[in-house]
Structure 1
Amino acid sequence: MTSIPVVRYKTESIDGVNVFYREAGPTDAPVVLLLHGFPTSSHMFRNLIPILAQKYRVVAPDYPGFGQSDAPDRATFSYGFQRYADMIDVLLGRLNIDRFAMYVMDYGAPVGYRLALKNPARVAGLIVQNGNAYTEGLREFWNPIKAYWADQSVKNREALHGLVTLDTTIFQYTDGVSDVSRISPDNWLHDQALLDRPGNREIQMDLFLDYGTNVPLYPAFQAFFREHRPPTIIVWGKNDKIFPEEGAHPYLRDLPDAETHIFDTGHFALEDKLDEIAPLLSSFLDRSIGAESGKA
């Protein structure tokens, strides 16, 4: 039997907030930073981490308001994507990480791309899974959210409350999945328990509003892709109604050499397609950051 990587569960106090993260793999190996989506946390990477950690140092944080990180009162803490990117930047500094590949999914895409804009040379590679950087990817699902961006009325805010209910959380895990028996119900029980923490619904409403600040940055994200050309692999669930396949292909305008794989699944592609995705990611990392360091 090959050795099984040990995953450690840690917290770091940043701006007075306890930020939880999972870490595994050799400390001197190339780094893979895993940035989660909504409404989950680093929990979404629980099965991938031991696979990647056989060769790579893997770090997977939870943003404030998600997972095991603190969820401070929104009256004293400003929730937003730039704040998250800045806090991840601090975490990387404390862990002495100055170069890394990023796995970005859903909310992880704008967090990761904002992080990249701060110091593009640090990004050694990109794994993009149902994470948007092009307006083509914001389709019908986003119409109520776009209405809230345009008119921040109580009515438009309350219209989004359904997005943090159990039915919607289950939908995110099961819609577009051909074999639902592959999806652990632990996912939505875990995520919903954390969504239902007192005050968390309004935190999530603030983040839906702040997501609108990412769209004007799309040209800057795209310029980063064109100018720095990080090695990139795209693994995308084509049946995702939140970030549909239309958001995957525009990456090739700016990253024409990106390796692209479209899967017959939904939003959380790792849940039912890990057996297909993990070998692709391992091969990609070996050819990019592994080859770069001579550790492949």
Structure 2
Amino acid sequence: MLLVTFLGACSAKTEKISTAFYFWRTTFSLTETEQQYLKDLDVKKLYIRYFDVALQNNEAIPVAPIVFNQKPEGYNVVPVVYIKNEVFLQNSSADSLAVKVYNYIQQINKSANVSVNEIQFDCDWSLKSKQNYFQFIEEFKKLHPNLSATIRLHQIKYPEKTGIPSVKTGVLMYYNMGVINSGDDNSIYSQKTAKNYINSLHNYNLPLNIALPVFSWGVHIRDNKVVNLIGGLSNNDLQKHPFEKVSENRYRVIEDFIYQGRYLAKNDVVKIEEPSAEQLKEMMKDLKNHLKKKPNEIIFYDLNEKNVTKYEKETFKTVSRW
């Protein structure tokens, strides 16, 4: 009996993976609740969106740069730069763009008194933009060699076509899996959709960390057509307003009213897309069965008091066990 108990304990042993968060607001300042969650979850690393890069008059420019109202003391900061695919669809000079992006990152670091080791690029590149994006990464590595890049599910299924960026680590964005529509499909997470791609993880030749969703939104539907997307909306929010629950994640408007500057008419429908705690565990279970090796980090998207408090702290800890 002692032997059986010992063997059972060994088989149940799990290993903790480092927990990190994306910070995707334009002003860096943490609430007391957010700070407490980070402390209790032993978070040491924050991936902070510094700015976007978009085209304006055919010129790549920084958009919505972050402002640090609070110094991220005690955290290893990784600047994340989101670059729109349109930037690489035009034949812009990769070396000059790399220098401009690098200098702007350094400017933000200096103003915030932050030193960084890793820089991450977030770009949903396409077959037409692949060459320019990959060349940009090569040029940037001359300025800062320790790079990571986000990877979408569709980019791991056909790596021989989509290519693999020459970075030290990729981050598999395990969310935004479908098209936002008025049907029952969940565009944030669908196990059925994910299974069409994750078999390819065995053949993906880049070390991967995992980004999981803890955000939500509401799909505003009128006459079976999508009218708008209401960011940050969750099931809990709709209990306080004139909605009638018609299914697990659908609510019908019972009288005209204004919600966060949006007009919702009687009989409009709001579909909530929001990953549950059980789905987060389901994601990791499926990934564990397909990844070539254990990831070094689980990164939750994104850090926001409203997002994190929807889940018990134990949920984050359970999901981050391997």
TM-score by length of 2: 0.30
Higher strand share: 2
Larger radius of gyration between Structure 1 and Structure 2: 2
TM-score by length of 1: 0.32
Higher helix share: 1
